[in-house]
Amino acid sequence: MTALDVFRRYAAADKEIEQLEEQIERREALATGSTARPLSPDSGSRGSGDASMRLLDYVANKEELQAKLDARRQLKEADRACCIYLAETLLPQLAGIMIRVYIEGKGLKQTGAELGYSASQLKRLKRQAETLCQSIEITYWDGNHVPLTAIRNANK
């Protein structure tokens, strides 16, 4: 796994967490009957198999989704620590870009304004930071997913 993979995984975490939360909410609504039009557990087809059992399976899957949600939240926090650690190994100007774009989720326009870079300059620096992060192979992780060893691969 490269440093860039970790930055990208952290950046995607909120969307993945939101999707899991929505799935859990749909199952809770079905279980409590609080939705006006429940989703069909078999994607809308009717008349095949025992619908009540499919609905029970659909609702029971909530615990599995909750476990996935909890695990994804924990991984997000571990990835955050890792991203900050990795950013600290970069030049300060590159670290600032990676932190703002990937960790804080800011757009390029806002990042450029904060750091005083033109759009083209920021894109060039971001590409440079991503290339450098792509060359950092994470070889060992401690219990908090912070790399104890990060090796820059000169071949990339």
Domain count of the fold of the chain: 1
Q: Which residue has the tokens 């993979």?
A: 5
Rounded Cα–Cα distance for residues 130 and 126 (Å):
6
Q: Of all helices (H) and strands (E), which one includes residue 141?
A: strand 136-141
Tell me the pLDDT tens digit for each residue of 32-42: 776 544 455 54
- Rounded CA gap, 38 and 51, in Å? 12
Q: Which residues of the chain have pLDDT under 50?
A: 36-38, 42-48, 154-156
pLDDT of residue 138: 81
The SS3 call for residue 79 is helix
pLDDT of 27 reads 84
Domain span at residue 57?
A: 3-152
Inter-residue contact 134 to 2 (CB < 8 Å): yes
